[in-house]
Structure 1
Amino acid sequence: MTTVTKTRVGGGDLLWVAWRTHRTSILVTSGLVALAAVGMAVVSRYFVAWASSLNYPTYRVLEQFSSIGLLFALAAGMFWGAPLVAREYELRTHLLAWGQDVSASRWLAGQVALLGAVTACLAALAGVVSGVMLERVPKMGVDTIRVFERNVFEAAPQVQVGCALFAFALGVAVGALTRRTLPAMAITGIGFLGVGEVLARWGREHYLPPVRSFEAWSPVHHPLVPFTALPVDSGYADANGVPMGDQDWGCGGRNGIEPVECLRAHGAAGRYADYQPAERVELFRWIESGIFLVLAAGLLLLAWYWLRRARRV
């Protein structure tokens, strides 16, 4: 009788260990996300049917519901990512999990592969349902929506997947650095919300050079920025369309001088506005998703490097 000895733990074994460790939370979370998706779809149909009898603008309600998927991204980072490594250190189970057969980096790869895949799938599901809800808005008599509004922009599946993977990777990296679960969860939540705020307020409008519109002085003013566009900047420009910057010329109608005549005297030939057109929204979503994915990859590399370094010191 020949005895077969398995000398190396394979990738399938690592995935099986990860599944046995997290199967309860994965199944419960998947069920909750699926239930929420069904609920969102039913609610959107209800609002479409009863839009005329509701006082609050129903399309605004759907826009708010469409951002619920981002709550899953936050939860994935705080409750899956942050405790992944930190809890091993706190419970001292890393002394058993990371032995001669399984290094810390290989163990991390198995855990991240499973939880990362589940995170991406659930985030994509939330994004698809959010998109379906927003597609119902025109049926309510609303011709257009502001596609660059934060909760509408971030409802797309690719953005939701990028956000969720970034939050998860941030939690893993912070947990590896701090080795404490609760601090890692707090830092992950604050960091995820902070990065999202920075991109939404100051980064998104600069993904591509904006479009500039100019209007010379005239008795009738026309909108320079389309309703669905993302405003970037506005002000006064000279005859060549070059912005003149913020100037304190005192042209507010004081001293009996008409504001337009005052501005003309200082060389202003009209008004200008910079904006991102709505046609770019899908490209911008892919750009933002790419930013999140690059950040996620960098954070996972940091966690991998830190674990290897921690094993040596």
Structure 2
Amino acid sequence: MTWLAWRQVRTQLLVTGVALAVLAGYLLLLGTQIRAGHHDAVASGSALREFQSRFQGRVYLLDALLLVTPALFGMFWGAPLVARELETGTHRLVWNQSVSRHRWLVVRLAVGCAAAAAVTGLFSLLLTWAASPYDAVAADRFTALLFGTRNLAPVAYTCCAVVLGALIGLLLRRTVPAMALTALLFAAVQVAVPTVVRPHLGTPVHASQPMTADVIRNLSFLGAQADVEGLSAPNAWVVSNSKLLTADGRTVDLDRYHGCLSGQFDVMAQCVAALDLHVDVAYHPGGSYWRFQWLESLLFLASAFALAGVALWRIRVA
């Protein structure tokens, strides 16, 4: 049964293997270039921003490719896994032999998940290695794009996507609609988890952040009502922050604050900093990164097992 399952995905494996070999060669080349560029930037002492901008486009493009890889496996490997058999009627040949429906589905899911996870894992391993000097300079590995494309998380995403696709194919019994729905649902999951679930996988640390001129210059938004957006810290994940507060914890006097919001941005930053303000911040420190990786990976793997359980229950009446 396992041998048959491997034979049924051999064409997919061959095409994916060729694509992965080409991608691996490029990642090895890119990793060498990034390390050479980082060495030169550190040696010069003042070119880290230029180093980051030089490789940002290529790293982001690879991040985007890896981020959609689990959904692609769910569409093209998971959705047809059962739907194609039901659509063409070939499932009857297997189920009328000595192999039970449950065993047939378990083997198909195990082989599909193992192969897809191996491909995604190698992609993630090579990208994590290649981009590691860049990531160290960027210091933002908690962002949705980087967190979902490094280390363990992509492998767990892929297993979940493949099982989700198989379950949807089993329910719809049509390959193309199952592929479309798998892509749609898993895209929704990839948006919902970083914004709704991930912040609650750990208890944030609370602190006070003085609003110096340098901090203000790096904000993405400074509003007329003393709102602050885009506050960041190296390798940390800021999940919330207050409005601009005075030393005694009250919201800044808006008349004094508005008096600074004119002229050049650098002058404005200096003026606001002179008001001796701070914000209260809730954040996850960089040291909790691996805890989040493990917890989110276990969450997706548990979801994959739960979806597989539903599929095993449903296939009894397929």
CA distance in 2, matches of 1:144, 1:250: 32
CA distance in 1, matches of 2:162, 2:29: 29
Work out whether residues 225 and 273 of structure 1, in 8 Å CA contact, stay in contact via their aligned partners in 2: no
Which of 192, 197, 201 matches 2:191? 197
Unpaired runs of at least 5, structure 1: 1-13, 259-268
Residue equivalent to 2:91: 94
Which of 22, 25, 41 matches 2:12? 25
Number of residues paired by the alignment?
Answer: 279
Distance 1:177 1:285, change over 3 A: same
Q: In the TM superposition, what whole-angstrom CA distance separates every residue of 1:98-130 from its partner, at most 9, and x where no partner exists?
A: 114122211111211211111121111011001
Distance 1:270 1:75, change over 3 A: closer
Work out whether residues 52 and 138 of structure 2, in 8 Å CA contact, stay in contact via their aligned partners in 1: no
CA distance in 2, matches of 1:128, 1:19: 24
Residue equivalent to 2:142: 148
Whether 1:282 and 2:269 are equivalent positions in the alignment is: no
CA distance in 2, matches of 1:166, 1:55: 33
Residue equivalent to 1:6: none
Work out whether residues 231 and 275 of structure 1, in 8 Å CA contact, stay in contact via their aligned partners in 2: yes
Distance 1:215 1:23, change over 3 A: closer
CA distance in 1, matches of 2:212, 2:128: 42
Residue equivalent to 1:228: 235
Which of 32, 49, 62 matches 2:59? 62
TM-score by length of 2: 0.76
Query: Which 10-residue stretch deviates more, 145-154 or 80-89?
Result: 145-154
Residue equivalent to 1:306: 314
CA distance in 1, matches of 2:121, 2:10: 20
Distance 1:24 1:124, change over 3 A: same
Counterparts in 2 of 1:144-293, with a 5 A limit? 144-214=138-208, 225-235=232-242, 252-253=254-255, 271-293=279-301
CA distance in 1, matches of 2:284, 2:14: 41
Work out whether residues 125 and 157 of structure 1, in 8 Å CA contact, stay in contact via their aligned partners in 2: no
Three-state SS of the structure 1 residue aligned to 2:207 is strand
Identity, % of aligned pairs? 29
How far is 1:96 from its partner?
Answer: 1.3
Three-state SS of the structure 2 residue aligned to 1:143 is helix
Distance 1:126 1:273, change over 3 A: same
Q: In the TM superposition, what whole-angstrom CA distance separates every residue of 1:244-272 from its partner, at most 9, and x where no partner exists?
A: 9xxxx995329x999xxxxxxxxxx9631
Residue equivalent to 2:117: 120
Which of structures 1 and 2 has the bigger CA Rg?
1
> Cα RMSD (Å) of the superposition?
3.4
Q: In the TM superposition, what whole-angstrom CA distance separates every residue of 1:140-188 from its partner, at most 9, and x where no partner exists?
A: xx73421112222122231011011011011011001110111100111
Residue equivalent to 2:21: 34
Which of 29, 32, 35 matches 1:45? 32
Distance 1:45 1:18, change over 3 A: same
CA distance in 2, matches of 1:171, 1:215: 45
How far is 1:302 from its partner?
Answer: 0.9
Runs of 4+ in 1 over 6 A off after TM superposition: 50-55, 218-224
Unpaired runs of at least 5, structure 2: 42-49, 217-230, 261-276
CA distance in 2, matches of 1:117, 1:219: 51
Three-state SS of the structure 1 residue aligned to 2:9 is helix
